[in-house]
Amino acid sequence: MTTTVERPTESQRRFKVIGTRPIRHDGLGKVTGADRYGADVQLPGMLHAKMLRSPHAHARIKKIDTSKAEALPGVKAVVTSRDLPIIDDKPIDLAETLGNPRVLAENALASSKVLYKGHAIAAVAATSPHIAEEAAELIEVEYEVLQPVLDVREAMKKDAPLIHEKLTTHEVQRRFTRGDDTGVISNVASHLQFKQGDVADGFSRADVVVEREFTTVPVHQGYIEPQASTAQWAPDGHLTIWTSSQGSFGIRDQTAAILGIPQSMVKVVPMEIGGGFGGKIGTYLDPVAALLSKKAGLPVKIVMTRKEVFEGTGPTSGSYMRCKIGARRDGTITAAEFYLAYGAGAFPGSPVGAGAMYGLAPYKIDNVLIDAYDVVLNNPKVAAYRAPGTPQAAFAVESTLDELAEKLGIEPMEFRLTNAVREGDRQVNGIPFGSVGCVEVEEAIKNHPHYRTPLNGANRGRGVAMGFWGNGGMQSSATINVNTDGTISLITGSVDIGGTRVAVAMQAAEVLGLAAEDVVPTVGDTNAVGWTGITGGSRTAFSTGIAAITAAEQIKRTMAERAALKWETQPEDIEFEDGVFVSKMNREDRLTFKEIAASMMATGGPITASASSNPRQVGVSFAATLVDVEVDRETGKVQILRATAFQDVGMAVHPSYVEGQMQGGTVQGIGWALNEEYFFTDDGTMANSSFLDYRMPTSLDLPAIDTEIIEVPNPGHPFGVRGVGEVSIVAPMAAVANAIHDAVGIRMTSLPMSPGEVLKALDEQQRAGK
């Protein structure tokens, strides 16, 4: 799969384990199919549940009659929102968006209004999935159908139908808060502004100004495993949930809040996960399965179909953007103005804040004005998707910049380097960047054989774009137990996505002078390990890594104490080199890790350590995509000929999995660029809710994707690690758009750049006589 040329990276010179490519601990289970995923759970007496979902995109629920469903033989329980303690007559407080349990509950089971087609209304548990399905269809719902609002610009109009009658616009100064209430009722949940310098003055000093409008539509994460959850609510009140999610503690906390029970009464057991990309952070099924289990007195499993995944779980936002950038003849950018309106779906909370913060991040611009709007629509509530909100913004910014470079007659990489951010330059919120690899990434592109090899042939073109992502920190916990055979067991709460078990295990191994294979990593349930944030936000190898390193350091200290006891010296007088404890007093006194482990019962008992992380210096990531395309002028089809992903990863712990992330993000970005889209009919139905017509790229649509790892260490991690999971999806859309322009001279400003759209643009070009 990987096409990277082996070469000594920085990490391979400094470390023994970091930078090598051991086989992942969970590899066998993955390739043989022995691993158990969400839908594989089987329990004695288990019932199967199906949801009833709204056929309308926007409607008031007048009446729900479940009696016919309840009467069907084999049906054991039916639930609606009336069974959720949190849903009462009080209106939803939409002022609080992040993790608002009332909103999560309303999204899991609609109470008074359905807000998108596919919005869950009721659920049935029965002795077989078929009976459950049949019974769900027997539930009678009376609707008052309302006009759906499907487009951000429509939704922002004064006379647009209101999705939430009481939603007022908030003025926000920072991310993740809803700021001051303006009291104005509309579909605009919030307005966020960033301002630096004086844009009017900046533009007046520009020789060339380019302004363009851009639109994108919702796209789905497209993880291969549909959501699946099994719940067992025991008579003593203990609730156990086996689920496919990106974070067991998050699911536990959300479920407990929705059900109004203490967190200690809920245990979440993580199953292996078939992809999430941000889409498996919020809960959909877990509280519903729990309620059904409580009513039926039996375990209940719910598994979504692909159609349900498309219609009922979060895609990412569609958007409308306007980007204006000005520069002087010498290539210095003088000002930028950026307007973004993102669709949030049914409830406030689009990732427009990240788009606003990060779209312009690769450039040092003194005069900036950014206005961002979070707009509710009759689409599924959006969920996080790999670098949430940023790919849309980068599409606008990097396309505008490419055009600006063209108009200035400056080579696009030169133009970017002239304006590249460095340590100490201010972000749009005024906070200066720490150590960053923006310049290093751009230099790497210029020096890469892909960039230096001329591209020949008609209708072929090359495009490049930069991407930035802030990465997450958050808290993690890890426990290490030393085994007498000299190996260690490592328990973390991080669900393994993309090889995080091995990446975290390697960091513990590095500290203790062990081989990666000497670590037995386990993903613990919520009762087995300390609180741990999601596997998401590019944070796991970084933050859970720090927890594992800290625990390993404690193990090392305890072992030094044991050795000190034996040599009748002080632990401070003991060094640890190459897996061996050596007394500084007498260099002949040596004990290996394995020897101390073997004797631990006699020297003081089991050696264990638990630690947690709460990192402050999260290393941010710059990345870029370089892509060659060929356009079929007669059909509008774009073929990707060659693609290279560049990324500052801080320190590549396991290069294969770093490359895998870079390639995966690039593939998803190419899919978003070319063909992926929610295709809504006028009534708000997603017409293409299957993988047949929701066109993700297949292996036949892609070349092997080259990766270029750049390592600018993150001072906030002992080994220099930065998050690597997300930023690779940011640049591809703009890179493809710029390549299409290079190939055939058209500027594509809407996603996806599907054959029909490219054909239209080519037609217009011909009519304009260019």
Partner 1 sequence: MAEKGSRAKALAGGTDVLVQLRAKRYLIDRLVDIKKIPEMNELTCTEQAGLVLGAAVPCCLIYENQDVSRLYPGLIDSAFLIGGIQIQGRASIGGNLCNAAPSADAIPTLIALEATCNIVGPKGKRTIAVEDFCTGPGQNVLKDGELLVSIHLPPPKRNSGAHYLRFIPRNEMDIAVAGVGASVVLSNGKIESARLALASVAPTPVFATKAAATLVGKEANEEAVLEAAEEAKKAAKPISDMRGTIEQRIHLVGVLTKRALNKAIARAKGAE
- Least separation in angstroms between CB 134 and partner 1: 11
Please give the helix or strand (H or E) that residue 216 lies within, else none.
strand 208-216
Residue type, 437: G
- 682 near partner 1, rule: CB under 8 A: no
Counting contacts by CB under 8 A, is residue 634 touching partner 1? yes
CA distances from 217 to 19, 95, 353, 664, 760 (A): 39, 26, 17, 21, 18
Q: Contact 64/139 with Cβ under 8 angstroms? A: yes
Shortest distance in whole angstroms from residue 71 CB to partner 1: 22
Q: CB under 8 Å, gap of 24 or more: what pairs does 256-262 form?
A: 257/86, 257/101, 257/104, 258/84, 258/86, 258/101, 258/104, 258/105, 258/108, 258/283, 258/287, 259/84, 259/85, 259/86, 259/287, 259/290, 259/291, 260/85, 260/86, 261/237
- Cβ–Cβ < 8 Å for 477, 550: no
Q: Please say which residue, 590 or 637, places its beta carbon nearer to partner 1.
A: 637
* CA pair distance 149, 163, nearest whole angstrom: 8
What 3-state class would DSSP assign to 262?
A: coil
If binding is defined by CB under 8 A, does position 246 make contact with partner 1? no
Decide: helix, strand or coil at residue 730. Answer: coil
If the CB atoms of residues 593 and 694 are measured against partner 1, the closer one turns out to be 694
In the complex, minimum distance from the CB of residue 68 to partner 1, in angstroms, rounded to a whole number: 19
Catalytic residue among 171, 510, 726, 764: 726
Task: Closer to partner 1 by CB, 112 or 635: give it.
Answer: 635
Task: Considering only the stretches 62-70, 287-295, 558-566, 672-680, report the one whose residues sit in contact with partner 1 under the rule CB under 8 A.
Answer: 672-680
Q: Nearer Cβ to partner 1, position 1 or 692?
A: 692
DSSP SS3 for 523: strand
Site membership for partner 1, residue 679 (CB under 8 A): yes
Integer CA distances (angstroms), 617 to 474, 510, 698, 712, in order: 11, 21, 38, 14
726 is known as an active-site residue = yes
Q: Which of 93, 201, 213, 693 binds partner 1 (CB under 8 A)?
A: 693
CB of 455 to partner 1, least distance (A): 21
The smaller minimum CB distance to partner 1, of residues 443 and 757, is found at: 757
How far is 580 from 152, CA to CA, in rounded Å?
A: 63
Closest-CA residue to 730 (of 538, 487, 477): 538
By CB under 8 A, tell whether 687 contacts partner 1.
yes
Among the listed ranges 463-471, 497-505, 583-591, 695-703, the one in contact with partner 1 (CB under 8 A) is: 695-703
Q: Smaller CB distance to partner 1: residue 363 or 672? A: 672
The tokens describing 674, both together, are 């070319």
Asked if 641 touches partner 1 (CB under 8 A), the answer is: no
Residue whose entry in the numeric block shows the structure tokens 């090899």: 453
Nearer to partner 1, 17 or 674 (CB): 674
Contact pattern from residue 157 through residue 196 relative to partner 1, giving x for each residue in contact according to CB under 8 A and a dash for the rest = ----------------------------------------
- Tell me whether residue 522 or residue 639 sits nearer to partner 1 (CB atom): 639
255 or 754: CB nearest partner 1: 754
SS3 140: strand
Nearer to partner 1, 237 or 756 (CB): 756
When asked if residue 688 is in the footprint of partner 1 (CB under 8 A), the reply is yes
- Of the candidates 553, 637, 683, 703, which one interacts with partner 1 according to CB under 8 A? 637
Span from 265-273, 405-413, 633-641, 662-670 in contact with partner 1 (CB under 8 A): 633-641
Contacts of 351 by beta carbon, 8 Å cutoff, 6+ apart: 316, 317, 342, 382, 384, 388, 389, 390
**What distance in Å separates the CA atoms of residue 147 and residue 133, rounded to the nearest whole number?**
28
Tell me whether residue 619 or residue 752 sits nearer to partner 1 (CB atom): 752
Q: Residues in contact with partner 1, total (CB under 8 A)? A: 20
Token match 């299409």: residue?
740
What minimum distance in Å lies between the beta carbon of 259 and partner 1?
33
Q: What is the DSSP letter of 95?
A: T
Could you tell me the two tokens for 140?
Answer: 């009678």
Taking the complex as a whole, the smallest distance from the CB of residue 620 to partner 1 amounts, in Å, to: 34
**Does 570 engage in binding with partner 1 (CB under 8 A)?**
no
Instruction: Kindly identify the residues of this chain, within the stretch 76-105, that bind partner 1 according to CB under 8 A.
Output: none
Largest Cα–Cα distance of the chain, in whole Å? 90
674 binds partner 1 (CB under 8 A): yes
Site for partner 1 in 347-386 (CB under 8 A): none
Q: How far is the CB of 305 from partner 1 (least distance, A)?
A: 10
Contact status, residue 363 vs residue 370, Cβ threshold 8 Å: no
In terms of phi and psi (left: phi > 0; alpha: psi -120 to 50; beta: otherwise), the region of 178 is alpha
Shortest distance in whole angstroms from residue 763 CB to partner 1:
9
675 binds partner 1 (CB under 8 A): yes
Q: Which stretch binds partner 1 (CB under 8 A): 35-43, 391-399, 433-441, 693-701?
A: 693-701
**Strands 168-172 and 120-126: what pairing?**
unpaired
To partner 1, the closest distance from the beta carbon of 693 in angstroms equals: 6
Q: At its nearest, how many Å lie between partner 1 and the CB of residue 692?
A: 7
Q: Is 766 in the site for partner 1 (CB under 8 A)?
A: no
In the complex with partner 1, which residue's Cβ is closer, 295 or 633? 633
Part in contact with partner 1 (CB under 8 A); list of ranges 140-148, 165-173, 277-285, 684-692: 684-692
* Footprint (CB under 8 A) of partner 1, residues 697-756: 697-698, 700-701, 754-756
Nearer of residues 224 and 687 to partner 1, judged by Cβ: 687
Q: Which tokens in the block code for residue 582?
A: 């050596």
Rounded to the nearest 10 degrees, the angle between the axes of helix 390-408 and helix 732-744 is 30
User: Smallest gap, in angstroms, from Cβ of residue 650 to partner 1?
Assistant: 35
| Burial (0-12, 13-18, 19+ Cβ within 10 Å), 57 | buried
Which x/- pattern, by CB under 8 A, does the window 303-332 give for partner 1? ------------------------------
DSSP H or E run through 232: strand 228-233
Sign of CA dihedral 687, 691, 696, 701: negative
Stretch that binds partner 1, among 312-320, 390-398, 429-437, 632-640 (CB under 8 A): 632-640
> What is the pattern of x (binds partner 1, CB under 8 A) and - over residues 592-631?
----------------------------------------
Q: Judge whether 207 and 328 are in contact, CB under 8 Å.
A: yes
Strands 120-126 and 47-53: antiparallel
Closest CB 37 distance from partner 1, rounded Å? 21
Determine which residue in the list 269, 455, 528, 759 makes contact with partner 1, applying CB under 8 A. Answer: 759
| Structure tokens given for 501 | 């078990």
Burial 381-394 (b: 16+ CB within 10 A, else e): bbbbbbbbbbbbbb
By the rule CB under 8 A, 764 interacts with partner 1: no
Smallest gap from residue 666 Cβ to partner 1 (A): 17
Q: Stretches 101-109, 551-559, 568-576, 691-699: which one binds partner 1 (CB under 8 A)? A: 691-699
Other Cβ atoms within 10 Å of 150 Cβ, number: 23
Any contact of residue 695 with partner 1 (CB under 8 A)? yes
Residues assigned a catalytic role: 726
Q: Which residues bind partner 1 (CB under 8 A)?
A: 634-637, 674-675, 679, 687-688, 692-693, 695, 697-698, 700-701, 754-756, 759
